[in-house]
Amino acid sequence: MEIIILIKQVPDTSEVKLDRKTGTLVREGVPSIINPDDRHALECALRIKDGRQARLTVVSMGPPQAIDAVTEALGMGCDAGILLSDRAFAGADTWATSTTLCRAIGKIGNFDLLLCGRQAIDGDTAQTGPQIAEQLGLPQLTRVNEIEKIDARRIVVKRRTETGYERLAANLPALLTITKIPPPVRYPRAGSLLEACTQQAPIEIWNAADIGCQAIEIGLRGSLTQVIRTFSPKTRREGEILSGEIPEMAAGLVERMRRHHLIRQTAQNPT
């Protein structure tokens, strides 16, 4: 079974700060990590490989330092890694990103399963996986929490809902977007990480020409959307201290809550 896993290197947002003047993320000195949902996608692929013959190819698009994320995935047990890195990819929106990833997938060739994370914690759109499925004409199962069954032709998955689970099936090849699978999610072992770092062979670096992309369809030029402005929403915090006798303050509180639609008047509950 051939499985391709798409992973994105993202800034560790638990440590990200905003530049108040420009409204952009301060990336300098911020550690980069594999996007959390992508780690779950990797774990899904590794669990499939635990139970059957499977070859796992991990693909990332990003600046040269994203090779660390690919190396870490190899250290976890993936068999091959590809980094798509080229200045021409810079400024890509989700459409240009998914177009680029589709070209790389086309170059890799046959596969049975394409795994993405549900959402990246920096861009946060959750668009890339579904766009790839649309561009490649694949069935897509999104927000998957568990792979229940897989054979050479078909996959059955579970997706958590507010009230329980949905069980979904698709014929292969298919694309899945993964989020929060049951633990444990493995981390690379020191030995295999060292092996992945010292072994040059499995990670290939492909540029735009390698995957046959025209300048007009990738990066900023290939982007269908444009960021006009980024800003933090202004939060308005106003406090009001009620004074007087307790029944008077309680009535004042109820009146204010009703005014802000926090409570409603019902027949059973006249307040």
Q: How far is the CB of 146 from ligand FAD (least distance, A)?
A: 17
Q: Which is nearer to ligand FAD, 74 or 101 (CB)?
A: 101
Starting at the edge strand found earlier in the chain, the sheet holding 140-144 runs 140-144, 174-178, 113-117, 2-6, 55-61, 80-84, 203-206
Q: Is 43 in the site for ligand FAD (CB under 6 A)?
A: no
Q: How far is the CB of 152 from ligand FAD (least distance, A)?
A: 24
Q: Which is nearer to ligand FAD, 76 or 101 (CB)?
A: 101
* Chain residues 78-107 in contact with ligand FAD, contact rule CB under 6 A: 91-94, 97, 101
Q: Are 108 and 77 in contact (CB under 8 A)?
A: no
Q: How far is the CB of 2 from ligand FAD (least distance, A)?
A: 17
CA–CA separation, 24 and 231 (whole Å): 8
Q: How far is the CB of 162 from ligand FAD (least distance, A)?
A: 21
Candidates 4, 33, 34, 38: give the one binding ligand FAD (CB under 6 A).
38
CA–CA separation, 92 and 128 (whole Å): 11
The bridge status of strand 174-178 relative to strand 140-144 is: parallel
Residue type, 221: R
Q: How far is the CB of 92 from ligand FAD (least distance, A)?
A: 5
* Chain residues 227-266 in contact with ligand FAD, contact rule CB under 6 A: 227
Among 64, 144, 55, CA closest to 108: 55
Q: Which is nearer to ligand FAD, 10 or 196 (CB)?
A: 10
In terms of phi and psi (left: phi > 0; alpha: psi -120 to 50; beta: otherwise), the region of 54 is beta
59 DSSP β-pair partners = 6, 82
Q: Which is nearer to ligand FAD, 58 or 155 (CB)?
A: 58
Among 116, 120, 99, CA closest to 25: 120
Q: Which is nearer to ligand FAD, 202 or 252 (CB)?
A: 202
Q: Which residue is nearest to ligand FAD (CB)?
A: 123
CB count in 10 Å sphere of residue 187: 12
Q: Residue 167: CB partners within 8 Å, gap ≥ 6?
A: 148, 156, 157, 158, 159
Candidates 32, 33, 34, 37: give the one binding ligand FAD (CB under 6 A).
37
Q: How far is the CB of 149 from ligand FAD (least distance, A)?
A: 23
* Chain residues 121-180 in contact with ligand FAD, contact rule CB under 6 A: 122-129
Residue ranges that bind ligand FAD, judged by CB under 6 A: 6-8, 35, 37-38, 60-62, 91-94, 97, 101, 116-117, 119-120, 122-129, 223, 225-227
